Each structure stands twice: as C-alpha cells, then as structure tokens.
Amino acid sequence: MPVVLSPWTDRRRDEAAARPVQYGPLVTRRDDDAMRRFRSYGLGQFIHFGLYSIPGNQWNGKTSTSPAPEWIRSWRGPDAPENWTETYDRLNEVFDPTELDARAWARQAKQMGARYVIFTTKHHDGFALWPSAYSEYTVASSPCDRDLVGEVVDAYTAEGIDVFLYFSVLDWSHPGYTRTVPACDDSRAGWQDFLDYTRAQLLELLDRYPAARGLWFDGTWDESWIASHEFTHRLEQELRERRPGLIIGSRLRNDEHGARHFDSTGALLGDYEQGWERKLPRNREMLDGNDWDCAMTIGPNAWGYMHDTSGHYQKTADDLVDLLMRCRSMGGNLVVNFGPDGSGRMTAHETRVAEQLGDWVAQNAAAVYDASHVDLEPTGMGHLTGNDDSLYVTVTHRPVTGVARLRFPGSATLVPVTARLLATGKPLELHRRDIGYDLDSAIHYDVLIPADFTTGRAFVIELALGRPTAQNADRADAFM
Ligand code: FHN
C-alpha cells in the first residue's frame, strides 16, 4: 500500500471514500481523572531549550536564514558560517546553562497561572537534556552534566504544575535516521536501529520521570516514520500500558494509509487534537467535540531563543489574554511558548508578558479554569465561558453603548440572575429586555457597564445563573 501524506489537521475526509483502518485509534474519548484535569488546565507553558538556545538565531553577528531559531542547524547558503553543521553539532562541548534555575522557572510559570508545562527533552538535533543511557549526545557529554529534565520535572511538580515531556522523533544525530522509506538492507538496518533507540529512550523517560503526565510528540511527519505504522501502533500501546493514565496527543502516529492526527475515517489518533500550532480553530464546530490545546509562540515562528528579534512582532499580554479566552470559549487550553537564552535565562519580554498575563489570570481565574465552552451564540464583545452556575463574559471589545447584551434562547432553563465584575466583585445592574426584533424568540439580558469603570485590559463580567422568573410571561403581544 503506498504511503499517502495527509495535510496537517485534515479531518474532512470523503466518507464514501473512507477505507477500512486497522491501525486506527487506541483510545476513545477518555473521561478519567487525567483527562478531566487536562480539560481544566486552561493555561500551559511550553519551553524550548537546547543547544540551539546558545546561538539564538545568530552566529558571529550574522542572523540566520533558517526557518526558526531552533532550526538554526539547517542554516545553508552563502551567509551560513563555514562548516556550520559541524560547528553546531559540537555545541554540546560548550553547553553550560549556569543561570538555569528550574525552580525559578516553575515559580514564574505558577505566577503566570500555568497548570501544565511541556518541556523539550530532545528536539530535532537529537541532543538529550537528560543523561540518556542510549545516546552519547546528551547533557552528560557537556560541561553542564546536569539532568535538566529531572530538574524541570521536580521543580514544576513541586509547584503543582503537571509536566508533559516533549520528544522529537525526528533526530538529526542518529546515523540510522532517514527521511524517506529505507530502500536497501543497510538503511533498513539503520532505521530499525533508530526505532529501537526511540523506543528505548521513551521507555527510559517514563521510567526515570514517573511524575510526568504526558508525552508530547513532534517531528513525526517524515515518510519513514509514516511508513512505520505497525511499529508506532505497538509503541503507543506499550507506552500506555507502561504508564496508565498517560496523555498522548494526536501527533505521534498515523494509520496505514498515511493519515495523520485523524485516521482515514476521521477518528482522532490520540487523546486530544495536537495540530493546533500557532493557529486556533475558527469555531467550536471544527473540533467535533474533541479535546485540544493550542501551542503558541510569543514572537513569530520562533520556539527557541531568538537573539535578534528586530522586525518581528512580539505578542503582548493583551494578545495572550484574548487568545487564552478564545481557546477556553472553544473548550481548549492555550500553551504559551518560552525560549530561554543559552544561559537558561528567560528573556525580558517573556518575563514581562508572563507577569502581566499572570496578574490578569489571577484576578479572573474563575473564568479560565473551571469554565469552558457554553452553548450560547458567540458575542462580538469578547469570549464566553461558563459552567452550570456561572457565565463569564470576557470583554475584549467594550461596547460604546455601555451595555453588554447577551442573547439567551427563549427556552433556556438557566438564565442570568445577578451580575458583577469578576476582578473586583462590584455588582452590576442586570436587566431582562424585550428588544422587539420580529420573530426573535431569544431573551436579551443587558448588563450595564458603569461609565466610571475604566481599565486598560480585557475584563470579565460574571453572571450567576438561575431559573427564569415569570417576568413578562403574562404580557401578550398586541393584536394587529
Ligand atoms: O519543528 C518544530 C518546531 O521547531 C517546534 O518545536 C514546534 C513546536 O510545536 N514543532 C515543530 C513544528 O511543527
């Protein structure tokens, strides 16, 4: 069967053309503690750290043309430093992040409001941030000689932040790695060696770090991996057996027809949709009720440290609040990426943004964590989240009328009964309105935003929900 590469999050398959699938999902929608926890994380932190953090996107004063700073090893062309690949591959000899204090990172993440962290144990260059017994190319071969994965797992766990281990399958350091399907005996043997090594490293990670809650896979798009569907199916099974409750997103494997993230019948290949990278779904309907998160950079397409950020827009805390609440309104989590520099220090911009985002989240926590998608018409004012008791309106676009108007279906059994500003608790006037749109069966609830309330940030209106009263029920329409 030829391998068919499928586009990134392609789920819209022609049902008539759907082929039988043998290597489909190993799990159906889980509702255990781990997944319920995942659904209430709300906000996460991603950290990209490794050898690429040393150059950032620069070497000897020149800015690299590689697609992203963590891809700097692939810098080619006339501007690339001489023998660049060899130079890069030897960065382990100087890797020594003396400023890296995982406890300080974890405290910062906690203040930001992150409930989970995804940490790069090994990126595409193959350099392992733990002293892996299955590779020479690890922290143990550097002056650093610390178990950075262990430090991160311990520090974040101590702060109550769940840890997910990022692992790139794609590995430029392994001689057996090949992008295409191995076609001769030698390359087949090399590939098998690579698969054994990958499996061994993954089991090693699970055994060394029992506190880790999930594995976050990357670099699984090459033909060679896609053609290894029997192996990856077995591997996923083995990982799940080894660590019951482990969370694995949809980026590990594909079916035998090459369909990634979703198999050829459209079924999700993992516990949650892991294809939302630097982009969000347009609407909730696109998600078919699946769990999901969105991994988002603060700068451009830069996950690792970027030394030279000139000309690149850096997202603000306001951007991130908007993205966070947009995700929550569609039932997902936002994972904000950080790229510390080669010494292990977070950048000034990321630090500032983390603080500001954290202040906002702390004041509006109820709207973020225990509130998720609500079945109400979206509002142009901002984003709706809620639960059985409360509805939260995160106002990013304040109406000039001073009235925050919400539409509820006429048949709603739970409607707003009181309103207040979530951050301060200040009560707000709430009115049920008869707007007079023809044939509109909706009920409108108006919250009055006091003119003297000023803020430079998005704000949240909390509405307590209760049973509708009989108000207006006895008023008949005029006969015409
Ligand atoms: O190539 C990587 C990239 O460097 C980065 O790690 C992101 C994070 O989601 N994943 C890959 C691209 O999809």
Task: Tell me the per-residue pLDDT of 284-296, one tens digit each, with 9 for 90 and over.
Answer: 999 999 999 999 9
Residue after which a domain boundary falls, among 313, 331, 363: 363
Decide if 8 is inside a domain: no
- pLDDT interval class at 51 (50, 70, 90): very high
Please check whether residues 342 and 462 belong to one and the same domain. no
Residue whose Cα lies nearest atom 7 of ligand 1: it is: 303
Assigned domain for 2 exists? no
Give the residue, by CA position, lying nearest to ligand 1 atom 4.
Answer: 70
Tell me if 477 is assigned to some domain.
no
Residues 280 and 423 in one domain: no
Q: What pLDDT is recorded for position 2?
A: 37
Residue in 170, 172, 276, 277 to alter for ligand 1 test, most ligand atoms within 8 A of Cβ = 277
Tell me: do 291 and 387 sit in the same domain.
no
**Residue 345: inside a domain, yes or no?**
yes
Q: Which of 160, 136, 124, 165 is nearest to 148 (CA)?
A: 165
Query: Is residue 105 a part of any domain in this protein?
Result: yes
Q: Please tell me the predicted confidence (pLDDT) of residue 475.
A: 53
Q: Are residues 286 and 193 in the same domain?
A: yes
User: Does position 138 have pLDDT exceeding 70, yes or no?
Assistant: yes
- The pLDDT of 304-310, averaged and rounded, is 92
pLDDT computed for residue 439 by the predictor? 77
Output the CA 397–ligand 1 centroid distance in Å: 32
Least-confidence region, from 11-20, 148-157, 322-331, 373-382: 11-20
Which stretch, 243-247, 264-268, 406-410, 474-478, has highest mean pLDDT?
243-247
Residue 310: predicted pLDDT: 87
The residue with greater pLDDT, 166 or 439, is: 166
Checking if the pLDDT of 78 tops 80, the result is yes
Distance between Cα 64 and ligand 1 center (Å): 17
Mean pLDDT of 226-250: 98
Does the CB atom of residue 125 touch ligand 1 within 6 A? no
Domain end position, chosen among 363, 391, 415: 363
Q: How confident is the model at residue 437, as a pLDDT? A: 77
- 293 close to ligand 1 (CB < 6 Angstrom): no
Question: Both 31 and 141 in a single domain?
Answer: yes
Nearest-CA residue for ligand 1 atom 6 is 303
Average pLDDT over residues 248-264: 96
Residues 350 and 424 in one domain: no
For residue 476, being part of any structural domain is answered with no
The Å distance, Cα 170 to ligand 1 centre, comes to 11
Ligand 1 atom nearest to CA at 304: 4
Q: State the pLDDT at residue 133.
A: 98
Place of tokens 């991130």: 320
When divided into structural domains, the chain yields a total of 2
pTM: 0.95
pLDDT higher than threshold 60 for residue 240: yes
Among 363, 392, 423, the domain-final residue is 363
Is the pLDDT at 471 greater than 80, yes or no?
no
In a domain, 5, yes or no: no
d(CA 463, CA 394) in angstroms, rounded, equals: 11
pLDDT at site 17: 63
Residues 63 and 166 in one domain: yes
Any atom of ligand 1 within 6 Å of the Cβ of 215: no
pLDDT at 461 over 80: yes
Q: Identify the residue whose C-alpha is closest to ligand 1 atom 5.
A: 303
Residue 195 pLDDT exceeds 80: yes
Q: Is 303 in the pocket of ligand 1 (CB under 6 A)?
A: yes
* Band (434; pLDDT cuts 50, 70, 90): confident
| The predicted structure's pLDDT at residue 239 | 98
Ligand 1 pocket, 295 CB below 6 A?
A: yes
What CATH number is given to the structural domain containing 461? 2.60.40.1180
Question: Do 332 and 452 belong to one domain?
Answer: no
Domain annotation covers residue 399: yes
Q: Residue 186's domain is classified under what CATH number?
A: 3.20.20.80
The residue-averaged pLDDT of 460-468 equals 96
Please work out whether the CB of residue 70 comes within 6 Å of at least one atom of ligand 1.
yes
* pLDDT over 80 (residue 354): yes
Q: Ligand 1 within 6 A of 96 CB?
A: no
Going from the Cα of 218 to the center of ligand 1, the distance in angstroms, rounded, reads 7
Kindly tell me if the per-residue pLDDT of 12 is higher than 60.
Answer: no
Residue, of 143 and 11, whose pLDDT is higher: 143
Does residue 434 sit in the same domain as residue 303?
no
Mutate to test the pocket of ligand 1, among 57, 303, 306, 335 (most ligand atoms within 8 A of CB): 303
In which domain, by residue range, is 176 found? Answer: 15-363
Q: Ligand 1 centre from 411 Cα, in Å?
A: 46
Mean pLDDT of 98-112: 98
342 in the same domain as 438: no
For ligand 1, the distance from its centroid to the CA atom of residue 48, given in whole angstroms, is 9
Q: Are residues 108 and 214 in the same domain?
A: yes
Best of 166, 218, 261, 333 for a ligand 1 pocket test (most atoms within 8 Å of beta carbon)? 218
Q: Whose CA is nearest to atom 10 of ligand 1?
A: 218
- Cβ(306) to ligand 1 under 6 A? no
